[in-house]
Structure 1
Amino acid sequence: MKKSFLVVLLLSTGLRVSGQTAAPLTARLGQVSLTFAMASGGQPTYAVQFGSQTVLKPSRLGLALADGQGFEGPLELVGSETKEVDETWQPVWGEVKTIRNHYQQLTVHLRQPAAPSRQLDIVFRIFADGVGFRYEFPAQPTLQYFTVQDEKTEFNLPANHKAFWIPGDYDSNEYTYSTTRLSEVNSANIEAIQLKSAPQRVQTPLMLKSDDGLYINIHEAALVNYPALMLNVDTKTFGLSSQLVPDATGTGAKAYLQAPEHTPWRTVIVSNKAPDVLASKLVLNLNEPTKLTETSWIQPQKFVGVWWEMHVNKASWNYADVSNIKLAGTDWSKLTPNGHHGANTANVKRYIDFAAKYGLQSVLVEGWNVGWEDWAGNWKEEVFDFVTPYPDFNVQELQQYAQSKGVKLMMHHETSSSVTNYERRQDAAYRFMQEHNYDAVKTGYVGRIIPRGEHHDGQWMVNHYVRTAQKTADNHIMVDMHESVRPTGLHRTYPNWLASEAARGNEFNAWSSGNPPEHETILPFTRLIGGPMDYTPGIFQIKLDDWNPQRNQGKQVHTTLTKQLALYVTLYSPLQMAADLPEAYEKHLDAFQFIRDVPVDWDDTRILLAEPGEFITTARKAKGKDEWYVGSITDENARQQQIKLDFLTPGQRYEATIYADGKGASWDKNPGAYQIRKQKVDSKTTIKLQLAPGGGTAISLKPVGK
């Protein structure tokens, strides 16, 4: 359902003035204002203000084309118009029930003063919490097929802001965040995940904070048919310039387009309050409405899975311990099983029983299909066929067993980044899913991309992710993509695209130095600005050497147990995993109750307290219920917080169940200590929270008699 109010005010349409003499154009909404101007050399520029504070100084706009006849300037302004849009719409699922989309739009029409006199439009949308803009290429005789060589977009910051950043790696987002001044950005000594980044290149979303308390987030929206945006940091002037991910040709080409066409939106969220950044719907509003005509089959859900036991070296993805396996021609029944393959029928039934007993909707199974023996690191083309199970995984038996228990099985398609192979096999793979009652799939893209030379975040792969979202939707399949490009709000257009990983998830705690306690307090300000993350929270066995002392020595999750509960509220996703093993939860069923209770779809969200890199406290109202859930997390520092429950329904009493860090708890020395208490509260109550170092608190608020 959508309600809209549209005002269109045409200004200077058809006006022709030279780039040197055009008067600046300004659009404003609330405290945010944008000024467009032509520089003396005929280059378009823009600047952004928040009240009296400068967000961006005059910054260059433009694109270079491969034929040398692009839009770097000189250009002339030949017309402009403005309009106001104020509408509301309801997402299929989300953090709130209704979203307001209110903006002032300024469109400027530019033209090359000399032949071939190509035309370019730049569309700006000014919201109360920031701006978005994109380049549009109208249909025209002199611009049909063209190649974008570089984008000249700049974001010129006025000062040496604090920045929360990860390296601008074209092939991975799986880094811990560095917190430095812009002048100190340097990834030269950070170990690259897949491709070494230029030292001063960072990824978006980039979170910034000025010394005078302005919070700025730079990202993009509606990334379709175009490479992802990285940013080059000038550590002396504090200017940011766009860096697009190149293609495989080695020519420096970035995007192959055909007019009429447009780029993704470049986004700048700004506020003097950190919670406003987390509450912003600017990126989502810049995406197109859903392309799906019927969405009742899309079901947000919680799940468990045969997954974490492989990460903690209790089981394996592969069935046999051999190498040099070929997909075609291997007789899998003759391979000697290694005895610790996790995706076997009996073990999967154990997870199904657990999900059915405790009300979780589905069970993910990784390592069920042949090919895992030598898939990693070999840059192989034919690795998986996505339809052939290992001998110890009985597809039909598990289908019937899951159905008898009222539980769904979730498919796993690890492509090994052999994407051409996956695309050839997608139709057969999705038919297989439908035949065996799977309606959700987790895809993975570990490794270097095939076609060789393409990048995870380049145009070719961006188009693959969108095609996969559309193809799964056509088959009524929900999708969760791992190792994909970071999201840009496309879950509005494709609501079956429930989540992505595209960042350093909880799994890194099992086989690396792990995620520092501040990590989860930064992710909502960075990665989650573009969309939900499958972070896989809910680890209860914090010290991992209990699973395998020899291989997990000294490894642990860098949070307390109750912080893992709070993550279900602070890290939004409509697809949440109870990521630990069933036996870990059965030791702490009182704490596991919060995971059972907490919803994954919401009618309202309130960011109560937030500061990037330090703490976040979020309250959410369950979809269709008068129940609220609160999550509060901190970095390595202990904190006391007081939260007012004035978001509760006035006059209604609630029972608060508070899952808090126990006495002496800390993420490093005593992470498993917790306490649970209950108290009656109402909208006038204030609750005092005591967060341990690396800790958190989770609260459920359910109505009781008045």
Structure 2
Amino acid sequence: MRNFLLVLLLLTTGYQAKAQPTAPLTARLDKVSLTVALDPDGRPTYTVSLGAKPVILPSRLGLALADGKGFDGPMTLVGSEMKDVDNSWQPVWGEVKNIRNHYQQLTVHLRQAAAPGRLLDVTFRVFADGVGFRYEFPAQPALQYFTVQDELTEFQLPADHKAFWIPGDYDSNEYAYSTTRISQVNSSNIEAIQLKSAPERVQTPLMLKADNGLYLNIHEAALLNYPAMMLNVDTKTFSLRSQLVPDATGTGAKAYLQAPEHTPWRTIIVADNAPAVLASKLILNLNEPIALTETSWIKPQKFVGVWWEMHVNKASWNYADTSNIKLAGTDWTRLKANGHHGANTANVKRYIDFAAQHGLQSVLVEGWNVGWEDWANNWKEEVFDFVTPYPDFNVTELQQYAQSKGVKLMMHHETSSSVTNYERRQDAAYRFMKEHNYDAVKTGYVGRIIPRGEHHDGQWMVNHYTRTAQRTAENQLMVDMHEAVRPTGLHRTFPNWLASEAARGNEFNAWSSGNPPEHETILPFTRLIGGPMDYTPGIFQIQLESWNPARNQGKQVHTTLAKQLALYVTMYSPLQMAADLPEAYEKHLDAFQFIKDVAVDWDDTRILLAEPGEFLTTARKAKGKEEWYVGSITDEQARTQTVKLDFLTPGMKYEATIYADGKGASWDKNPQAYQIRRQSVTSKSVLKMQLAPGGGAAISIKPAQ
């Protein structure tokens, strides 16, 4: 007891020994300024501004704990520290070669005014393009194990901004975006994918545009051991309040923590122009440095795969008819082949040959393993074992064939959201991969989560995604996660986590109402703010009826072919799929040349033109080469984009190959019309790009021979 009192005394007096600060406290870098104060009731608040323009009006901070003794009441300010940081670092892969990490940090020490007098720190980092802050729980006798019931963080907007949003669904982010004023947010008429969202709850990243020309983005960074943050919208006051994803207990509990601990960073990116939002590295800078000591095995790459043919109803994931599973039971040798199974040895060899011929590094194969007949979204725990192939998929033969062609096979692990089953089997599955020369895996989490009642974006699953990134790294395996929580910059810490889906991808064009042409102009400002997306671009057979007229009637991708090429530049990922079938590319090998040429790792990126929901033009310099690639896309509106090439090295001559929409092209009536032209350019050249409705242009720029 004497030791306990001594520790408490030291902790308390240690804080009191600091000079008593006078509220408000401020921090500033360039035009971004932050103020922290206590309101008249003693509750901490913060404000953010960009120059003279308010970004966030006084907004509440705090957390409610399950024991009723949280940080949601009056607090006293017992100390603060300020420091300036300015350094740089180099990512293993990324959009730029070097990243500057420059901020002013303000740490505010708070103590509950009432018993038990628990301590809470709030650390703010002010960058030239925004603010990040998080709650930190120091080690202290009065707070050891605790449960976060609610987070009270608010973002009080000064006006009724234009917003680009999707519903705050705890289990899916695969929605088309709505563009409305904050006062008009209402998802009640949007069909839920998994869990019905509260009508005025939205997901982050939330992109906002103010009438005074400000652009801001609200998200989070370094999501670890904590649920994802949604936002509850007050449509009358324009206030946003954090809503954490709950756990399975039904008590409303959100996070189970043990001090010392901290939350993820809450992030506000702000700029007076749209390109600056896309250029921000604030979220990456708020993540911890790389956790790996050796990274030579991590290789950005392009791949093809047995995948799209299932989406367009040309083949199936399952080997047998679903009804046959009742007769076979668990004896997979009794399954009767349906004749449509895509992942058969001969078909996979066809993809390997195509990859080898065109210099693509890998071939993804979905539907290779037994269990697809037994799934049917029945919330069954043990469906897949991740090591048993179907009878027509010869693992050893394909391993040897791929090696002979200099191509890698990419593993697919669909978990059916039975995550407990996957975690039990991960070690065996990764051993199987290593034994058969796989060095990358695509995981999937389709369906309702097991443990039953947990959510895709809750603390339990967030920890699973992190464990999977760690376990694959321990086995020197790269990972691409689908149906996972949206990224928050963790690829800085775990660069083997190459990409995620976590949004409405290109596949939705095959079996739903599709993605509207504006979709790809919004995603870089929303989903991609947190990290790269496996969007699966490169569809050349835009109209899908030819694959299966009976089942694909009227279905098509909602872009032009040229826009599909441009997406390789505008939708950043170090893992890019040439998503269409080989026979679709063989009809247009002249256009396929851009997919062969375009890089997946970069030394420099320039956002040349941008407006969320309307258009985007991006230029990127290939890693270690004097080659630039430009992608330009538009929404439903035809546009002329003027592209200055002043990013090229002065005095050098280049040849530009321009892949553009053809005469009369449009996403809905003439999507496959394209033209290719070449011209000499220098840093003084200016190109005018004619973009068709739902169209785009892609440019490769290489030194002249």
Cα distance between partner residues in 1 of 2:687 and 2:106: 46
Deviations 1:389-414 (A, max 9, x none): 00000000000000000000000000
Number of residue-to-residue matches in the alignment = 691
Residue 595 of structure 1 deviates from its aligned partner by 0.1
> Which one-letter code corresponds to 1:367 in the other structure?
G
Alignment map for 1:525-604 (pairs within 5 Å)? 525-604=525-604
CA contact (8 A) 1:658 1:698 kept: yes
Cα distance between partner residues in 2 of 1:370 and 1:317: 10
CA contact (8 A) 1:441 1:477 kept: yes
Residue 333 of structure 1 deviates from its aligned partner by 1.9
> Which one-letter code corresponds to 2:53 in the other structure?
Q
Deviations 1:577-609 (A, max 9, x none): 000000000000000000000000000000000
CA contact (8 A) 1:542 1:671 kept: yes
> Which one-letter code corresponds to 2:19 in the other structure?
L
CA contact (8 A) 2:325 2:335 kept: no
Alignment map for 1:445-456 (pairs within 5 Å)? 445-456=445-456
Cα distance between partner residues in 2 of 1:204 and 1:673: 36
Aligned: 1:15 with 2:4: no
Cα distance between partner residues in 2 of 1:374 and 1:166: 32
Cα distance between partner residues in 1 of 2:656 and 2:109: 57
Alignment map for 1:261-276 (pairs within 5 Å)? 261-276=261-276
Identity of aligned pairs, percent?
84
Equivalent residue number for residue 687 of structure 1: 687
Alignment map for 1:284-299 (pairs within 5 Å)? 284-299=284-299
- Specify whether residues 506 and 13 from structure 1 end up closer, same or farther in structure 2 by C-alpha distance, changes over 3 A only: farther
Cα distance between partner residues in 1 of 2:207 and 2:558: 23
Cα distance between partner residues in 2 of 1:328 and 1:163: 52
Equivalent residue number for residue 6 of structure 1: none
Equivalent residue number for residue 257 of structure 2: 257
**Runs of 5+ in structure 2 lacking a partner?**
1-14
Residue 497 of structure 1 deviates from its aligned partner by 0.1
Residue 614 of structure 1 deviates from its aligned partner by 0.2
Cα distance between partner residues in 1 of 2:610 and 2:327: 50
Alignment map for 1:93-492 (pairs within 5 Å)? 93-323=93-323, 325=325, 330-492=330-492
Classify the secondary structure of the residue corresponding to 2:398: helix
Equivalent residue number for residue 4 of structure 2: none
> Which one-letter code corresponds to 1:127 in the other structure?
F
> Which one-letter code corresponds to 1:15 in the other structure?
A
**Runs of 5+ in structure 1 lacking a partner?**
1-10
Residue 116 of structure 1 deviates from its aligned partner by 0.8
Deviations 1:457-513 (A, max 9, x none): 000000000000000000000000000000000000000000000000000000000
Classify the secondary structure of the residue corresponding to 1:173: coil
- Specify whether residues 382 and 325 from structure 1 end up closer, same or farther in structure 2 by C-alpha distance, changes over 3 A only: farther
Residue 114 of structure 1 deviates from its aligned partner by 2.3
Equivalent residue number for residue 607 of structure 2: 607
CA contact (8 A) 1:631 1:699 kept: yes
Cα distance between partner residues in 2 of 1:571 and 1:557: 16
Residue 326 of structure 1 deviates from its aligned partner by 8.3
**Which deviates the most, 86-95 or 322-331?**
322-331
Equivalent residue number for residue 513 of structure 1: 513
> Which one-letter code corresponds to 2:421 in the other structure?
N
Residue 704 of structure 1 deviates from its aligned partner by 1.2
Cα distance between partner residues in 1 of 2:619 and 2:327: 49
Q: Structure 2 length as normaliser, TM-score?
A: 0.97
Cα distance between partner residues in 2 of 1:288 and 1:502: 22
CA contact (8 A) 1:228 1:458 kept: yes
Cα distance between partner residues in 2 of 1:191 and 1:488: 26
Cα distance between partner residues in 1 of 2:475 and 2:385: 18
- Specify whether residues 354 and 171 from structure 1 end up closer, same or farther in structure 2 by C-alpha distance, changes over 3 A only: same
Q: Structure 1 length as normaliser, TM-score?
A: 0.97
CA contact (8 A) 2:324 2:336 kept: no
Residue 246 of structure 1 deviates from its aligned partner by 0.1
- Specify whether residues 236 and 382 from structure 1 end up closer, same or farther in structure 2 by C-alpha distance, changes over 3 A only: same
CA contact (8 A) 2:324 2:335 kept: no
Deviations 1:607-642 (A, max 9, x none): 000000000000000000000000000000000011
CA contact (8 A) 1:307 1:364 kept: yes
- Specify whether residues 78 and 595 from structure 1 end up closer, same or farther in structure 2 by C-alpha distance, changes over 3 A only: same
Equivalent residue number for residue 48 of structure 1: 48
Cα distance between partner residues in 1 of 2:255 and 2:439: 34
Deviations 1:268-325 (A, max 9, x none): 0000010000000000000000100000000000000000000000000000003484
CA contact (8 A) 1:13 1:80 kept: no
- Specify whether residues 326 and 249 from structure 1 end up closer, same or farther in structure 2 by C-alpha distance, changes over 3 A only: farther
CA contact (8 A) 1:327 1:383 kept: no
Cα distance between partner residues in 1 of 2:648 and 2:701: 9
CA RMSD of aligned residues (A): 1.2
Classify the secondary structure of the residue corresponding to 1:617: strand
Equivalent residue number for residue 670 of structure 1: 670
